[in-house]
Every structure is written in C-alpha cells, then in structure tokens.
Amino acid sequence: MTTTAELRRRWPAVRREPAVLTVAMLASYTVDPIVPYLGVGLHDVGLTAAPTVGPFNQIVQQCLDDDGEVARLAPDVLVVAPRFEELWSRAPLAGSPDPETYARDLLFLADTALGAAERWRSCLVFVLPAVPETRPYGVADHGSPHGAEAVAATVRQALRRRLSGHPNVYLADCEAAVRTVGSRHAHHPALFRFAKVPYTDDVFAELAGQITRLLRLRYAPPRSGIVIDADSLLAGTEAGSESLQPVLTELRRTGARVALRGTVDRGELWAAVRSALSDDWMELVDDVVLDERPVEEQLRDVASVLGLAAEQMVVLTAAEPLARQLASRALRLADSTDLWPAQVAAAGLYDSLPPAVDNQDGGMEIAAAQPSRSLSVEEYIAGLDVRVQWRAADQEAVPEVLEMLLRTKDFALGGTHTEQALGEAIADRSTEILLADVRDRLGDYGLGAAVRLRYDGRECVVDLLLVSCPVLGKGVEDEVMSRILRLAADHGCQRVTFRYMDTGRNGLVLSYLREKISADPASGITVRMERHV
C-alpha cells in the first residue's frame, strides 16, 4: 500500500507536468495538505492537475465575486469543503435553535457554491462536513435528538438533498474519510491551534482519493473491463475461493465485463475456476484467453471481444512483476484474500453514478439563510454582523502579539519583531500598538488584527500590520486601514508609510496596500510603501 510519505515525495515531479484540469479549492479551514495527494491521485488516473487553494475561510465571498481570486482561475473543478465548527457559533444543545436554524448557513453556502459553479461552468465537488468531535453531552449525545450527532446528521442530509441531482455536481464526504482513518488518528489539535489544519495527512489523503474517484467518473472513460489474472489468483490454489466470487458478483452488478487470462493449462484452470466461482462461473465471465502469448497481446484480444478501449481495462493480479509491468492498468491484490473486496472498492472499481430519481425521501425542506442568487459580497459581509473591538496593547499583551506574528503569513508586513522591541514600543509615547478583537454571528475569533504606528512629525510609519486569516474577507482589513488613517489624521500626519519586506507569502497585503497608494479623499492623507531588505 502506498504511504502518504511516498505520495508527497512524488508530488514535486508530478506538479511539473502540463495540467489538463484547473482545480480550485475553497474551505473553511486550512486545506493545503490535500494538494499533493489530490495532485498525484489525479495524475495517476490521467487527469493531471495543479490544485490551487483559495483564500482561507472565504467560501461565500469568493463564490459571490466573479472578479475574485478563484473566479479568475476559470476552474474546471471547484472543490468546496466547509466544516460545522467554523459555521456554528456554538454546538447544539437541548434548548438550542432547532436543526433548521443550524442548517441555514450551510445551505446558503451550498447554494452560493452551486451558483458559482453554474456561472463559471465548473464541475462542483462539495465535501459534506464531518460530524463534530465536540459532543456537549459526552456519551449521552448519541441518544439526544438535540445533540451534535443528531443535528449534524439532519444538516448533512439537507445538504445532500439540496445538491444531489444537479448536473455536474458531485458529493464527497469528510465523515467517511474520518471513519476510514479512525477518529483517534484523524484529528490534529496542535496543528489546528497553530495553523487551522484540523485533520491528519491520512484524512486528507482519503479525501483526495474520494475526489479523484469522483472526477474520474466525470472526465475519464469508465473502467468497464476487469481481467482476472488466472496464473496468480486461481491456478494451483484455493486461497481466493471465498473472496473472488463476491468481488466478481459486485463488479457484474455495476455493469463491468469480466475476462480470465493466463498461461495455465485449461484443464487445471477449470478445476480452480469451479472451486473459486462454483459451477455458475460462466455467468460471471465473458471471455477466456489462455495461451503463451505476452499479456499485452492477450489484453488486446480481450478488449476487442468485449468492445472496450485499452484504457478501460484493469487487470486484477497477485503477481508483483505483472503489476509493475502494467502499472496503472493493474491492481495488485494483497496476499490476504480477506482484503480483496476492500482493495477493489478503494480502487474505485465499484464506482458508478446512481440513476437520477426524484428527491422524495420524506426529509424536510429547509430554506437557506439568504437568497444567494442576488446577493453581493458587500451584502453578505453586512449580514455577518462583524464587530471589531480595539484595545491598546500593554506589556501583558506582548506574548499574544508574538504568537500572532508566528501564525500570520498572508496579511503581514514581514520583518523581525522581538519581545524586547515590542515591549520598548509599548513604553514609547511616540508609538502605539493597537489590537483588534473580532467576532461575528458565526463566532468569536479573538485577536484578529494588530498594528504598530509611530508618529514622526507629519509622517505616520506602520511597520507591523497583521490581519489573521480567519477574519480576512470580512471587511476587517478595511476597518484596520480606516483606523490607521484616522489616527494619523488625529496626530497631524499628512502621510502614512508602510514599511514592509517581501516574504514570498505576503502578496495579499502588498496587493491591498498598492491599491491604497493615493491621496485618501476623506482624510487627504497620502499612503506610500517603503521596502526594507
């Protein structure tokens, strides 16, 4: 089995190959660890892509903005991955709002993503959120109709009902990825505290596998021809007698064509076939090729008989040399036959699109929080009820600022700021450090922005400017800029100079400031940038 480390090692070489798909990803958390797994997975199924992660926790903002960062990518595929934890201000409890209330923001998000995919003519892959790990009632949450599990199940089904049946829309499931890995090994609390990465690499790899399989269904021809390597799976052994038949039965259910190939004697093979597949084996097999020719010639004959293209054929084998020879056209089955059904399922050989049916399962219809079709980005932000509370930093706040300096990379001026320098700045009457606590109706984000201003005659110098990723795209950066200009004007300054270093990761703040390099019509203050090496 390929490990996550092996997949990551392959990514630098794979990413240099020309992409055939543009894949954009938006998530309410840091989803960047999925990139190598998704990139390698898509490459291995012939859909080489360079996945691009959009701004952190700005799903709705980006989907509403046809001139935004993600829209400009013109993505062939839009992957949207929310979590309950970022969209619920508090976990469900008895006496909390009903499940419909908890569902509305997520349904609004789903409608917005659907609208963006339709406008951009993108394939939408929506990732159903995993059930939250935090259970207010502990073990009793399992039995509470108002607990996290019950409400999450209701919301997940509402999302499934809302999105299923739309053309070019596919659903992946983070809960399934967490379940496959196991909850104890799925979550990464330390990395979430530092970088908002909630899951381990194993979960991201599983989720990438789901998305890869969905996109293969969408873009690649179905793998409709299954060839059993009789030499390794049947001849001379009864090891697979209890495992091969259910695999083939399930493959036939999906519409796959099945053939046997090998070099063994026919008489020897028939006995093995009857042992593994019973006397009704002919109902499971469409063609048999047994001769001494090279496997490539045999496969060409099988493809011709089954009426399939070569890329639609997959060989199931237990022989490592044959698996290496055929590469992506072979599935190497484990020595333990008990693992075969799970291996075949994980390889996507059972995958098929369900038939379209009327969405009449008796579930309740829930209205979204707002009509996404006619909403602007500005209106959405206004509806969040973002509140910024300013406070002056004191000596006790220095560790808080240092931690924010470590965590904030995108909207940061760069440069070195030591504990001693920050303490001295707080004590300097010509300098002030201001901190902004941010919250909205979805949650309390704590310290969301920090700025250091030094007043020097008619100039205000700003060399520390931080806005954390969780509050970006909610108008906080504009509030910070307005605060800076007001304070500069109050101190009689005519110019605000932002001193920065290009870190290679802070392009967002630099682009933002370049838009402000002009005389502000309200304050008459000139904004300029000064680069420090």
Contact 222, 308 (CB under 8 A): no
Considering the domain architecture, whether residues 67 and 132 belong to the same structural domain is answered as yes
Q: In this structure, is residue 211 part of a structural domain?
A: yes
Indicate if 213 and 295 belong to the same structural domain.
no
Residues 205, 244, single domain; the answer is no
More confident: 471 or 237: 471
Beta strands in 318-475, from DSSP E residues, in sequence order: 330-332, 387-392, 431-440, 443-456, 459-467
Residue 353 lies in a domain: no
List the domain range (segments joined by +) for residue 60.
4-219
Q: Which long-range contacts (CB under 8 A, 24 or more apart) does 11-19 make?
A: 11/35, 11/36, 11/39, 11/40, 14/39, 14/40, 14/43, 14/48, 15/39, 15/50, 17/43, 17/48, 18/48, 19/48, 19/49, 19/50
CA–CA gap between residue 351 and residue 262 (Å, rounded): 26
Locus of tokens 């369900």? 354
Cα gap 315→237, rounded to integer Å: 19
Confirm whether 309 is domain-assigned.
Answer: yes
pTM for this structure?
Answer: 0.83
At residue 161 the predicted structure's pLDDT band, cuts being 50, 70 and 90, is: very high
Number of domains in the chain: 3
Please, which pLDDT band fits residue 524 given cuts at 50, 70 and 90? Answer: confident
Check residue 7 and give its pLDDT: 94
Q: What are the φ and ψ backbone dihedral angles of 170, each rounded to 5 degrees?
A: -130, 150
Q: Is residue 36 domain-shared with residue 137, that is, in the same domain?
A: yes
Does 395 lie in the same domain as 323?
Answer: no
153 and 31 in one domain? yes
| pLDDT 10s digits, 501-519 | 999 989 999 999 988 876 4
Specify whether the CB–CB gap between 494 and 458 falls below 8 A: yes
Any domain includes 65: yes
Long-range contacts of 372-376 (CB under 8 A, 24+ apart): 372/60, 372/63, 372/64, 372/108, 372/111, 372/112, 372/115, 373/111, 373/115, 375/64, 375/112, 376/64
Q: Are strands 443-456 and 459-467 parallel, antiparallel or unpaired?
A: antiparallel
Sheet holding 313-317, edge to edge: 287-290, 257-262, 225-229, 313-317, 330-332
**What percentage of residues in the chain have a pLDDT greater than 90?**
59
> What pLDDT is stored for residue 526 in this prediction?
87
What CATH number does residue 522 fall under?
3.40.630.30
The mean-pLDDT minimum among 86-90, 330-334, 468-472 falls in 86-90
